[in-house]
Chain A
Amino acid sequence: MEPAAPTRDLWGWVDEQVGRRQFLLKAGWAFFWVFLGGWLLSNLRFLFPNVLYEPTLSFKAGKPEEYPLGVSEKWKKTQRAWIIRRDDGFYCFWARCTHLGCTPNWFEAEGRFKCPCHGSNFNRNGDVIAGPAPKPLWRCAIRLADDGQLQIDKARLENRAGAREQGDFFLPYQSA
């Protein structure tokens, strides 16, 4: 049985390859740069706060019967949302352009939401008709709260055709 040669001869091998002094020097510098780089990079994490002091994204929007058919701009200034009532129910848009985050305006005559920053146009379903926006408008989760008011949650969003017209993102409500 022979002993494992590499472990016994490691220093010898290093000495042969780079020289002991050179090795220590290189190891020292490597440590210096890795430590410095690591410390500087870790400070990037410092820039990402762990606690946010931001307003809640959920709000109550009154009773459904208060809304006429069509697009309601009632909550745009305070909650940045449009509530849309159709014959068969409610859905809610987050009033934030999917292009670069400006607040579009609703133009009833054309049936379009138009963004003032880069000119994106969306139709009643939130789909992009013109302008640079890459995605449809986001719809918020909407449900009836226990007290009979509409409960909107802007933290839960959906914009894929098919998924956005059902479940939490559409509130069936029969008009009288």
Chain B
Amino acid sequence: MAEGRPSFKQYLKKTKIWKSIYRHDFTDTPKTRLQRVFGNVFLHLQPVRVAKDAIRVTYTWGLGGISFYLFLVLVVTGILLMFYYRPASVLAYQDIKDLSFAVTLGQLLRNMHRWAAHLMVVAVIFHMVRVFLTGAYKPPREYNWVVGVLLLVMTLFLSYTGYLLPWDQLALWAVTVGAQMAANSPILGNEGPFRLPFITTSNDARFGLIGGTVIGDATLIRFYVLHCIAVPFIFSIFLCVHLWRVRKDSFSKQTGEKVDVWPHLVSREFLAALLVTVILFAWSLLMNAPLEAEANLNVTPNPSKAPWYFVGLQELLVYFDPWIAGVVLPTLIIIGLVAIPYVDINPKGVGSWARMRWKRLGPLPIWYPEERPFAVSVFMLGIVMWFVLIFIGTYCRGPNWEWYWPWEEWSHRRITKFTLKDIPNVWGGLLLMSYFLLGSPIPQKVKAVLAQRAGPKAPVLASAALHLGLGILMSVALFVPLLTAADPGYPDRSRYPTLFESLGHAVNAPVMMALFQFVERAGPAAGYSLIAAIIGVLGLALGGLGMIFAKLKDRMYDELGLIKYTIVMSLLLMMMGVLAKIVLRLLFGVKYLISIPTFSFNI
């Protein structure tokens, strides 16, 4: 540019219009760096200066920001898609077809909307895991963790409601199943346990959700409004609170010198958004969002699978009645997540990733979270269980939701004769009761009294008696009915008169099959004595496991107090109980432990 003559840009910056918009100049000085942040309503969301270590990529991986960015992408692509979409059952599917084949860039936008939704679910879950592992939910940030959990739930609900809108088979059956879970909710669902006397199919929770007794136009407009307006509206409110509280409660990491947010943090955010955009574009160009045949209310595709983030729930529904798997367990998961910051009184581990160390447990090397052993182990176990369920549902389930190994070829003609049996209520009740009693601690006070009255060894002996007794009781309560009880289905629903024979001949109860064959081959005397030995060993193993954790339990009780301990222990036992029930179903062919059909109450 020639000397003396101002460029167009320089001229522009001197105009009144420019000055009315931008209050400061853009030369890089310490002053303008601050002005850029607090002079801009959007950047103002952030502080002007931030600890250097807090913005290291390896601390947060930018996951919260990425989730927020994906939400913005979803809003923009969603608004564009709305221009062509009409929420009526005769039109919706055609409109999606039009978007895919007749509208310029329609397919790309639809792909981006769908894949961004998937990415957002991933980002939000990982964000939660990150916040947990860096202890960032601990005081004073408890409340913001709760808001975050609600945002996670809403993210999933947004995915669920959006899923119906294309009105294809995939959509319809995922929503059929989801809506039917509402019908199974206790008290308010027509098919749930303890339903109120005036509840019918035309006024229960499912009816309220889908706006009728069958999924149809009323459901479509309902889900459309929820997806496009109602939930995003509430989501945005909670999002504001969430972001604002991050500012107000300050970052969990405060080490390192303070650096200017502009450019250090803003540039990182920009790069993260850029990277996500590139991934999203590549994914959307390479892969189309699935669209199956038009919804048919009478025919279900076989197998019918939910989107991946709900497949874990779908798999869980195989092992429990819908009111447990679909209503009680999700509610407990949410309550459990919300409760975490309030029951975790350990102040350690804030502001850095959980420190892991190799440690010996007997002969086994274990990777041990040093500062927060209990919290990190339990939380990660829950997360891993959830993803294992997703893996099973996605890769191990074929036609008729039967078990296929990932390398096995699916066959719609495979002959299978699966059988499941209930344990009689008394035994099942005993099993459940002794299982939950395993959670009972022996508080310090009781130990002192015991030691005073019956000698210094009394507390140890009491603990051994409690745990080994309960272990043996559980083992007995499981095996005795399976070996001796009559099959109530005989002769109508079952070919054999006893549970042992029925399950011994089933193909889906490997443990019972093996025991049955052993008894057949080795004769009853040898067979039953081996089984008695197994019962003993299993009982002692369960009791021994209880004893290993006895010290931890007692210490936790003394530190947490009755209420927090009860919450933590019940949640933990229920989580492990889910695992136990899965094992009972897959290895023993057990369907229910307690079944009271009159009240639709089955566990």
Interface of A toward B, CB cutoff 8 Å: 44, 47-49, 52-55, 76-80, 95, 99-105, 109-110, 114-119, 121, 123, 125, 127-132, 134-135, 161
Give residues of chain B (201-238) contacting chain A, Cβ–Cβ below 8 Å.
Answer: 202-203, 207-208, 211-214, 216-218
Give the CA-CA distance A42 to B415 in the complex, in Å.
53
A52-B213, A110-B416 known; A132+B492 contact, CB < 8 A: no
Choose from B176, B202, B597 the contact partner of A101 (Cβ within 8 Å): B176
A101-B180, A110-B416, A117-B401 known; A127+B493 contact, CB < 8 A: yes
- Which 8 A-B residue pairs are closest in the complex by CB-CB distance? A119-B401, A130-B418, A116-B302, A114-B400, A100-B180, A101-B180, A102-B300, A80-B298
Choose from B179, B181, B508 the contact partner of A130 (Cβ within 8 Å): B508
B531 to chain A, nearest CB (A): 24
Among B303, B399, B418, max chain A CB count under 10 A is at B418
A119: nearest residue on chain B (CB-CB)? B401
Interface of B toward A, CB cutoff 8 Å: 173, 176-177, 179-181, 184, 202-203, 207-208, 211-214, 216-218, 296-304, 314, 317-322, 326, 397, 399-402, 413, 415-420, 489, 492-493, 508, 591, 597, 600, 602
A117/B600 in contact, CB under 8 A: no
Q: In the assembled complex, which residues on chain B have CB atoms less than 8 Å from the CB atom of A105?
A: 302, 400
A102-B173, A103-B299 known; A117+B314 contact, CB < 8 A: yes
5 contacts between A and B (CB under 8 A): A102-B300, A117-B303, A118-B401, A131-B418, A134-B321
B602/A118 in contact, CB under 8 A: no
Q: In the assembled complex, which residues on chain A have CB atoms less than 8 Å from the CB atom of B319?
A: 132
A103-B299, A103-B300, A130-B420 known; A115+B212 contact, CB < 8 A: no
Q: In the assembled complex, which residues on chain A have CB atoms less than 8 Å from the CB atom of B207?
A: 48
Among A48, A117, A129, max chain B CB count under 10 A is at A117
A52: nearest residue on chain B (CB-CB)? B212
A103-B298, A117-B173 known; A132+B317 contact, CB < 8 A: yes
Give the CA-CA distance A161 to B493 in the complex, in Å.
12
Q: In the assembled complex, which residues on chain B have CB atoms less than 8 Å from the CB atom of A52?
A: 202, 212-213, 218
A102/B298 in contact, CB under 8 A: no
Q: In the assembled complex, which residues on chain B have CB atoms less than 8 Å from the CB atom of A103?
A: 298-300
B499 to chain A, nearest CB (A): 14
A100-B181, A127-B493, A132-B318 known; A47+B208 contact, CB < 8 A: yes
Give the CA-CA distance A90 to B163 in the complex, in Å.
40
A48-B207, A100-B181, A135-B597 known; A77+B298 contact, CB < 8 A: yes
Give the CA-CA distance A19 to B557 in the complex, in Å.
47
Q: In the assembled complex, which residues on chain B have CB atoms less than 8 Å from the CB atom of A130?
A: 418-420, 508
Q: In the assembled complex, which residues on chain A have CB atoms less than 8 Å from the CB atom of B397?
A: 119
B216 to chain A, nearest CB (A): 7
Give the CA-CA distance A110 to B411 in the complex, in Å.
14
A99-B322, A131-B420 known; A123+B300 contact, CB < 8 A: no
A28 to chain B, nearest CB (A): 28
Among A44, A54, A101, A104, max chain B CB count under 10 A is at A101
A110: nearest residue on chain B (CB-CB)? B415
A129/B418 in contact, CB under 8 A: yes
Q: In the assembled complex, which residues on chain B have CB atoms less than 8 Å from the CB atom of A127?
A: 489, 492-493
A95/B418 in contact, CB under 8 A: no
Known pairs A44-B208, A116-B301, A129-B419 / 14 extra A-B pairs, C-beta < 8 Å: A48-B203, A48-B208, A78-B298, A102-B173, A105-B302, A110-B416, A116-B399, A119-B401, A121-B400, A127-B489, A130-B419, A131-B318, A131-B401, A131-B418
Among A52, A53, A55, A134, max chain B CB count under 10 A is at A134
Q: In the assembled complex, which residues on chain B have CB atoms less than 8 Å from the CB atom of A48?
A: 203, 207-208
A49 to chain B, nearest CB (A): 6
Give the CA-CA distance A102 to B489 in the complex, in Å.
25
Among B181, B184, B402, max chain A CB count under 10 A is at B402
Give the CA-CA distance A174 to B180 in the complex, in Å.
39
A132/B321 in contact, CB under 8 A: yes
A102/B297 in contact, CB under 8 A: no
B329 to chain A, nearest CB (A): 13
A100/B301 in contact, CB under 8 A: no
Choose from A54, A80, A100, A129 the contact partner of B493 (Cβ within 8 Å): A129
A116-B399, A119-B402, A132-B320 known; A109+B493 contact, CB < 8 A: no
B213/A54 in contact, CB under 8 A: yes
Give the CA-CA distance A102 to B602 in the complex, in Å.
20
A119/B400 in contact, CB under 8 A: yes
B304/A117 in contact, CB under 8 A: yes
Give the CA-CA distance A80 to B298 in the complex, in Å.
5
Give the CA-CA distance A54 to B179 in the complex, in Å.
17
B401/A115 in contact, CB under 8 A: yes
A48-B208, A52-B213 known; A134+B600 contact, CB < 8 A: yes
B181: nearest residue on chain A (CB-CB)? A100
Give the CA-CA distance A119 to B419 in the complex, in Å.
11
Give the CA-CA distance A53 to B212 in the complex, in Å.
8
A54/B214 in contact, CB under 8 A: yes
A123: nearest residue on chain B (CB-CB)? B493
A48-B207, A49-B211 known; A100+B317 contact, CB < 8 A: yes
Q: In the assembled complex, which residues on chain A have CB atoms less than 8 Å from the CB atom of B299?
A: 76-77, 103
Give the CA-CA distance A115 to B302 in the complex, in Å.
8
Q: In the assembled complex, which residues on chain A have CB atoms less than 8 Å from the CB atom of B419?
A: 129-130
Among B213, B300, B326, B489, max chain A CB count under 10 A is at B300
A93 to chain B, nearest CB (A): 13
Choose from B218, B303, B591, B600 the contact partner of A116 (Cβ within 8 Å): B303
Give the CA-CA distance A164 to B179 in the complex, in Å.
27
A48-B207, A129-B419 known; A80+B321 contact, CB < 8 A: no
Give the CA-CA distance A132 to B590 in the complex, in Å.
11
Among A47, A100, A114, A121, max chain B CB count under 10 A is at A100
A156 to chain B, nearest CB (A): 13
B417/A110 in contact, CB under 8 A: yes
Q: In the assembled complex, which residues on chain A have CB atoms less than 8 Å from the CB atom of B597?
A: 134-135
A44: nearest residue on chain B (CB-CB)? B208
B211/A102 in contact, CB under 8 A: no
B204: nearest residue on chain A (CB-CB)? A48
A14 to chain B, nearest CB (A): 38
Give the CA-CA distance A121 to B493 in the complex, in Å.
11
A121/B492 in contact, CB under 8 A: no
B208/A109 in contact, CB under 8 A: no
B279 to chain A, nearest CB (A): 32
Q: In the assembled complex, which residues on chain A have CB atoms less than 8 Å from the CB atom of B493?
A: 123, 125, 127-129
Q: In the assembled complex, which residues on chain B have CB atoms less than 8 Å from the CB atom of A115?
A: 300, 400-401
A116/B492 in contact, CB under 8 A: no
Give the CA-CA distance A114 to B412 in the complex, in Å.
11
A116/B208 in contact, CB under 8 A: no
B199 to chain A, nearest CB (A): 12
Choose from B218, B314, B413, B418 the contact partner of A118 (Cβ within 8 Å): B314
Give the CA-CA distance A128 to B438 in the complex, in Å.
33
